[in-house]
Structure 1
Amino acid sequence: SRGGVSKCPEDDRPLDYAQIYPDEELTTEVMNSLVRCRNVKDGCRWVGKLQILQVHLDECPFDALPCPLRCGAVLPRLDLEDHLEFTCCRRQVVCEFCSKKFPGDVYEKQHSGQCISEVMWCENKCGARLERRFLANHMRNECHKRTVLCQFCSREFVQETLQTHQYQCPRYPVVCPNRCDPTKIPREDLDLHVTELCPSATISCSFRDAGCKHKCPRFSMEKHTAENVQHHLKLMCDLSKTQQTQITQLCNALYSLTHITDGEFIWKISNYKQKFLESAYKSVELVSEPFYTARYGYKMAASVFLNGNGAGEGKYLSVYIKILPGEYDNILEWPFILPISFSIYDQNIDYDLRANITESFVPDPTWKHFQKPVKDTGALGFGYPKFVSHEILKTRDYIKDDSIIIKVKVDSYRNCTSP
């Protein structure tokens, strides 16, 4: 308005304030009209006369108000109390542990969860409760559940078990039982120290196995050894003789055991070509290792002439068997009458395609070859001068890898006439 002139809100015509006057009846009518609270959208259901609206707004729980502490927050009256007590950054908070006052934001960001007077449980779960300012020292130096290092083996243990561990700790220093030195020795090294290093330990002479019974502290053993060279030498010589006798006995026993065949003796003759040439140039008899037909049986040896002997010379391979004097001849039956067979193997890789050559005989009890032997002579045994011809021997796989394989079988059943 200008100069006291305004416009009517209804028809926009100019109005003069001098001509405007209050209408009490209309005012009363308007003020008695019913209205809703302006906070109806926020949930307020108040309805009343316009003239008491302000009274309601002064108490309306949904009416928005600025925080009285001027933190900048605007919120409904019903939330104001909680805001002032719990969330306002300018509220005053008293710490329940140290009783000091702090602005809300300072308390939440800097003091809460860090108060040195706050009572806490020990993190090692030992059951202790103490103020935060004492907690670090308690966990580091006092708590019986704290983790500590063994000063000897450097392994970690719970403090309350450390003493028990030290009774078993391999590096715990212990005194030598011989009191050789005031210096203590780690427990795990004590056995080695006593058995090999301790100068005071009583030890046996290094020639103990030879018969020397002397014992003395380790530090004086060198003197004993130096003063008894001749005695020790005699002991060693005696021991050597005894051992040589035992070795000879063992070798004889081993030789006997390794020559027990259970009736089957397999003889492989290697370097066949060279040995055949030697036999062709000069009649050479190849004699096998002796063997026993059983654990307490007859002792025998086989022999061959690669270029033949007697009627088979030059064209055949001859094979013989002769009975040798054995350890158990006095308990065996004589004359020897068990069937014997000779075989030469076809060394074909396919077992089903092999064609071994076999000849067998039953000893004649009247022949001298099968009587109880008196001594081991070089006499020719009994066998086959024409066992297999050279022509046949060159066929198939009788000769393979420059070797032939001959089997001698002694049948333990008297009535058996086949190999």
Structure 2
Amino acid sequence: MACDELTGVSGIFTRQNSASAVSLDFEPDTDYKFVETLEDRYKCAYCHLVLHNPHQTGCGHRFCQQCILALRLVQTPSCIYRLPVFKDNCCKREVLNLYVFCKNFPDCNSKIILGRYQEHLQQCLFESVQCTNDGCCDQILRKDVKDHLSRHCRFREQMCQYCNKYVLHCKLFYFLLYITCFNIIPVHFGCAWSFYSSLECKEIKIQQLAEAIKKCEKEFRQFTQLSSLAALCIRCLTVLSSFFPAVLESQSSKHDLQINIHKAQLNKNEERFKLLEGTCYNGKLIWKITDYKMKKKEAVEGRVLSIFSQPFYTSRCGYRLCARAYLNGDGSGKGTHVSLYFVVMRGEFDSLLPWPFKQKVTLMLLDQTGKKNHIVEVFRADPNSSSFKRPDGEMNIASGCPRFVPHTVLENTKNTYVRDDTLFLKVVVDLSDLEEL
């Protein structure tokens, strides 16, 4: 009998008795950031993404519901045809309860089960939403909506102070009334001419002007912060600029400083996010080295002798590690080989870990032709070496292979190991006898 959710594709799905359907769900084909590394048993055998509405064949393969339908149109594993396919509600419940980071991390540090992810986004204060005012297409963070609607939206309604009618903010003109003090007067187009013709600009002595500014300091600050002014009383603006060029220049400098601070923080957050996104917690590192020729040239010229990989870990609370490469060689391999080393770094949980570090380490240069002719070096950490003691500084002295791979092998014309000016290095730490915290 065909599964109810896949009506019209009879003969390949078989009903499997299970508990009542789980009400949670999530959007497929989305790049979710899981708190823990996603296990293979939760990945679709076809699309390799997290399983959505999982189904299992009689031989144990798991597929997304839509992937099974897609496989009907292309060459598929024979088990799809030969064996019954069951709706795997048990796996579905496990997948829906996996924890993921909000897509707005690190601004939003929430960890949500996958089945509640869309529900969280409907409430997340750092989710981008569109302004609800007609005509406004601005995208703002949910936490800033109230402030945007009341202060910044060009399509918000605001009262004309000349006729006391509410009109769209974008249809208001701002006039500087310069008679006894400074005042920002918003008027709409219908009132603009009558308002302008009614202005009676009068000369004021410097002492009176100073008293007026002190009296209306708040309004004056608001004026200096306005981003756009239209139809200003030219005479008033001229007088203002002649008395206060330093004030206006000071405000502009402060704004530039704030903008530069925000830009620096954004760049810092972006670098932090990239670092977190590429961090592995299973004792394995895939290191992609781009621009190989340029980096090797820098090493040959002595400008950048070595490069470091991003850190990786043996577990969430495990050893913090990285790799170090000398593209023009180091020690006995200098000028002829690429030297590759393994580095133990200082981590947050070092006081809870056994020392010295004693695990077996595998260093690999990956074959990019698909033939898996990888270059492999294996060693076990020497407990008597200072390279594997608990780090006193940021990292220990590197240990590894000064003659890891000859340049003649690496740079052969068959593009086995360097393709598109890019090579891939892999480091694997044996975790079989390592107790996880």
TM-score class, shorter: 0.3 to 0.5
Larger Rg: 1
TM-score (norm 1): 0.40
The structure showing larger relative contact order (alpha-carbon pairs under 8 Å, at least 6 residues apart) is: 2
